[in-house]
Copies of this chain bind each other. A is one copy, B any other.
Amino acid sequence: MGTVGKAISLLELFTVDQSELGLSDLARRSGFDKATTRRLLVALTARGFIEQDATTRHYRLGAGLSRLARIREARFPFLQTAVPLVRDLATTTAETVHLSEFGIDRLVTIHVEHPARANRVNVDIGQLLPMHSTASGIAYLAFARDETVKACLAGPLDVFTAHTLTEPDAISRSMSEARERGYSISDQGLEEGVISVAAAILAADGFALGTIAVAAPKSRTTAADIAQRGLAVVAAAREISMRLNGDNLQTLRRQA
């Protein structure tokens, strides 16, 4: 591994739970010599990729990363790109369509289109969706990094309804099915009487970045509706992924 790779793998030791680490700790976790670790940290600190706490002497991720990430995001306008397609999908399905982006350990709802009818599923912008019990969550996990999947299924999995899946095996099976057919289905996993389909929106690296989902009252939803919405949601997700990544989207090689 080159020096650059080593420096980056130091950065990757930081997680939400382990957001501040000491020198010896970093050396141990990375497997690099303490002197090497320190030299890398100094180089990273000089460019603002790492900050050091003045009192504890511990290291944390720096503001330089945020700056570059924002430059990237300025060019990578997820919301702007996706909203027109969310709107189209809402028109054709006449049901609630919502768009989510992954944040830390849940999906964050960043846009919603509601149909103009009284009996509908209501979703709010900013609402957080659990990963294991929503169509969006399963669709995301089906195309997420292994470590992300592991992290999301590690914690206690809340039970929301009698239909909520909490067995890791059952959840894995849902993910496999989602990978095969392209979209996930959640039958009242989060709320009684609500059935949803969702598809993952992929980043250029082939991993999921967010999801688009259609949620409807189960009472008026047939199996044919589900299949039709599934295809529509996959088409929308594909289109968003393509507009975001150009034709540069790498297909994710993945064990089924």
Contacts and interface: CB of A to CB of B under 8 A. Distances in A.
B102 A19 contact: no
A85 interface: no
Nearest to A49: B8
A55 interface: yes
Interface in A1-53: 2-5, 7-9, 11-12, 14-16, 19-20, 39-40, 43-44, 46-49, 51-53
A64 interface: yes
Interface in A212-254: 246-248
A82 to B, nearest CB: 12
Interface stretch (A65-73, A115-123, A161-169, A173-181): A65-73
A248 B69 CA distance: 23
Given A4-B3, A55-B247, A65-B65, A60 B72 contact: yes
A204 interface: yes
A62 interface: yes
B63 A108 contact: yes
B15 A71 contact: yes
A73 B60 CA distance: 11
A2 B3 CA distance: 9
Contacts of A125: 70-71, 74
A110 interface: yes
Contacts of A157: none
Contacts of A95: none
A63 B203 contact: yes
Contacts of A248: 51-55
A126 interface: yes
A48 B205 contact: yes
Nearest to A73: B66
Contacts of A2: 3, 39, 43
B46 A5 contact: yes
Interface of A: 2-5, 7-9, 11-12, 14-16, 19-20, 39-40, 43-44, 46-49, 51-55, 60-75, 79, 101-104, 108, 110, 124-126, 203-205, 207, 209, 246-248
Would you list the 5 A-B pairs with minimal beta carbon distance, nearest first?
A69-B69, A4-B43, A61-B72, A19-B75, A54-B248
